[in-house]
């Protein structure tokens, strides 16, 4: 991550005074060309950094330069440290090293106050590494390919130019331009399988407001009304927004909201089992009953 590297270059120069580009390139495992680009970026940002050639040359900071931490209030310094701690959820490499150096720079002791893991319980390590893989593909403009299962259970092969990671409604998504449909699309990460980052690069397109993606997703929604028994309170409060919930006098709940149409919706509602007391519209109720009959038939077949 270049921001992390830029900070660490300044940190090293504050302590070592003069370092060659080759030494920095070896330390960060990048090319010397990348290091010189970093120097240009830092210089443009107002950091008095320069490079000199010849014997004893290298990259240095102007004598007497001090990173003025007094420009940040005590509260601002605390906010920076807490923000970096919260970023551990997306597994940015060497983040703890940056956190330690900032802590020493601010002369503050950091306490581990947050642990965030967006992966499901029991996830394999490969699932937890997806953040790093997606971040690398997005920042380096690399096309990714994968198999995708939509809400109707249909499988397709996809190639996309990834734009960003999105966390919405308790799930992670990847947004980007889908080369299969030649349009901006949103893909739920849990439905993406056999994900591969290719060596094929792409030119970033004009950013698309997420509101447009929401409109396209909303085109396939169905208005649903549910009645869930009082014993289902834990599911109701876990899975539905407060604005969707009406609490009845007998302890049961009425849920009203828009849900994605397709096989996913029927399977989701069936997961409530005996907690589900009423379903509307009637067409959805009939499909659920048909699914239940099919399940009964399969379970009654001789082994």
Nearest-angstrom CA–CA distance, 181 and 159: 9
Q: Is the pLDDT of residue 220 over 50?
A: yes
Confidence of residue 53 (pLDDT cuts 50, 70, 90): confident
Confidence of residue 98 (pLDDT cuts 50, 70, 90): low
Q: 135-144, 166-175, 232-241, 259-268: lowest mean pLDDT where? A: 166-175
pTM for this predicted structure:
0.51
Q: What is the residue-averaged pLDDT of the chain?
A: 78
How many helices (DSSP H) and strands (DSSP E) are in the chain? 11, 12
Residue tagged 């967006």 (tokens):
118
Fold that domain 2-61 belongs to in CATH: Arc Repressor Mutant, subunit A (1.10.10)
Can you state the angle between helices 95-106 and 74-86, rounded to 10 degrees? Answer: 170
Class of the 221-300 domain?
alpha beta
Strand 276-280 to strand 221-228: parallel, antiparallel, or no bridges (unpaired)?
antiparallel
Average pLDDT over residues 241-254: 93
Domain boundaries, the chain: 2-61, 69-106, 125-218, 221-300
Which contiguous run of DSSP H or E holds residue 185? Answer: strand 183-188
Q: Between residues 117 and 8, which one has the greater pLDDT?
A: 8
> In the chain, what percentage of residues exceed pLDDT 70?
69
Nearest-angstrom CA–CA distance, 292 and 287: 9
- Looking at domain 125-218, its CATH architecture is Roll (2.30)
Q: What is the pLDDT of residue 178?
A: 92
């Amino acid at each position: 991550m270049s921001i992390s590297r830029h900070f660490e270059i300044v940190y090293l120069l504050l302590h070592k005074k003069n370092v060659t580009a080759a030494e920095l390139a070896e330390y960060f495992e990048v090319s010397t060309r990348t290091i010189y680009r970093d120097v240009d970026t830092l210089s443009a940002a107002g950091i008095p950094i320069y490079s000199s050639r010849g014997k004893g040359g290298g990259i240095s900071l102007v004598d007497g330069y001090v990173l003025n931490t007094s420009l940040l209030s005590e509260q601002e310094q605390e906010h920076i440290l807490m923000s970096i701690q919260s970023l551990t959820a997306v597994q940015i490499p060497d983040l703890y090293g940056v956190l330690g150096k900032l802590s020493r720079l601010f002369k503050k002791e950091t306490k581990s106050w947050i642990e965030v893991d967006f992966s499901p319980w029991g996830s394999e390590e490969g699932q937890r590494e997806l953040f790093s893989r997606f971040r690398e593909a997005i920042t380096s403009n690399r096309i990714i390919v994968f198999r995708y299962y939509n809400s109707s259970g249909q499988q397709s092969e996809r190639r996309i130019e990834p734009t960003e990671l999105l966390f919405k409604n308790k799930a992670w998504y990847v947004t980007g331009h889908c080369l299969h449909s030649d349009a901006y699309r949103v893909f739920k990460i849990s439905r993406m399988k056999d994900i591969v980052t290719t060596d094929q690069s792409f030119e970033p397109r004009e950013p698309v407001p997420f509101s447009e993606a929401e409109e396209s997703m909303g085109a396939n929604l169905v208005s649903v009304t549910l009645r869930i028994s009082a014993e289902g309170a834990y599911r109701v409060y876990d899975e539905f927004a407060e604005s969707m919930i009406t609490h009845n006098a007998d302890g049961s709940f009425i849920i009203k909201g828009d849900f994605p149409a397709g096989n996913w919706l029927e399977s989701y509602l069936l997961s409530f089992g005996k907690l589900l007391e009423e379903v509307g519209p009637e067409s959805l109720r009939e499909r659920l009953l048909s699914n239940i009959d099919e399940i009964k038939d399969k379970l009654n077949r001789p082994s």
